[in-house]
Amino acid sequence: MSLSFCSLASGSSGNCQYVESETTRLLVDAGMSGKYIKNSLETINVKVETINGILLTHEHADHISGLGVLMRKFKLPLYVTEKTWEAVKLKIGEIDETLLNIYDKIDEIVIGDITVRGTRITHDAVDPLCYTFKNNDSKVGIATDLGAISDDVINEFKDCDLLMIESNHDIEMLKIGPYPLYLKRRILSEHGHLSNEDAGYIAKEIIKHGMAKNILLAHLSKENNFPDLAYETVRGILEMDQIIIGKDINLDLTYRDKVGKLYRIVK
Ligand SMILES: [Zn+2]
Ligand SMILES: [Zn+2]
């Protein structure tokens, strides 16, 4: 029994993640064009028509811009909370309502042989969630657009084998960078995004529990971060705690405009 994970894209220009068990294939967010998502899946030998469901973290454009096309063209089912659906439905065009699975809240739902759990976060959206996916003993977590670090997130994610965690910005780059003041304040607030330091802190807390073998840095800002800077900042924080990259854990990046590595967790 196993889970596989692949980031098809991650960043403020678009987000789409792929999670697979032996019998079930899911997407988290559809924030790239339908064509990009279809082609990206083909690079890992997955046909878009075989996706069993799409989950959404929240309604911002970088998470839903390809959703309408995927639902219309390939008849992909959507699993969504009521509030998020209310915020999404006017933005994606006409869709076949039989594809909708609407929940009051997604505390725990089962899709095929994958158990999905949603955890509430404080990003500035109507009902933002991050997710874990479990198949027998294998567990994958996806936590982006977080705003703030919470005990709920640490508790839910601490036994993940693979964790994709937001490492959006370098705080100094953001402060001296080109963004207007209101946007800088928003990003730095608990309704915005996590910094590289925050990502390092969460990674350290989760690795302490001994399960995580893969930490993937996600949703990197184009303007306020560099991939090497994010990687080295998180590596520095982990190594201060004697966590050795390549030996204790694997630390990797995800990308704004290309498919990342395909990970298989086999237990
Ligand atoms: Zn986002
Ligand atoms: Zn967002």
Q: Which of 36, 35, 29, 37 is nearest to 62 (CA)?
A: 29
Distance 145 CA to ligand 2 centre (A): 5
What does the block give as tokens for 131?
A: 């997710």
Distance 22 CA to ligand 2 centre (A): 31
Name the CA radius of gyration of the chain, rounded. Answer: 17
Residue count of the chain: 267
The fold for domain 2-258 equals Metallo-beta-lactamase; Chain A (3.60.15)
Dist CA 53 CA 50 (whole Å): 9
Point out the ligand nearest to the CA of residue 16.
1
pLDDT, block means (10 residues), the chain with 267 residues: 94 96 97 98 98 98 97 98 96 96 91 96 93 96 91 92 95 91 88 94 90 94 95 97 94 97 92
Residues flanking ion ligand 2, Cβ below 5 Å: 60, 145
Point out the ligand nearest to the CA of residue 168.
1
Interacting residues of 100 by C-beta distance below 8 A, sequence separation 6+: 77, 78, 80, 85
Residues flanking ion ligand 1, Cβ below 5 Å: 62, 145
pTM of structure: 0.96
Domain residue spans in the chain? 2-258
Instruction: Determine the pLDDT at residue 1.
Output: 66
Q: Buried b / exposed e across 227-259, counting CB within 10 Å, b at 16+? A: eebbbebbbebbeeeebeeeebbebbbbebeeb
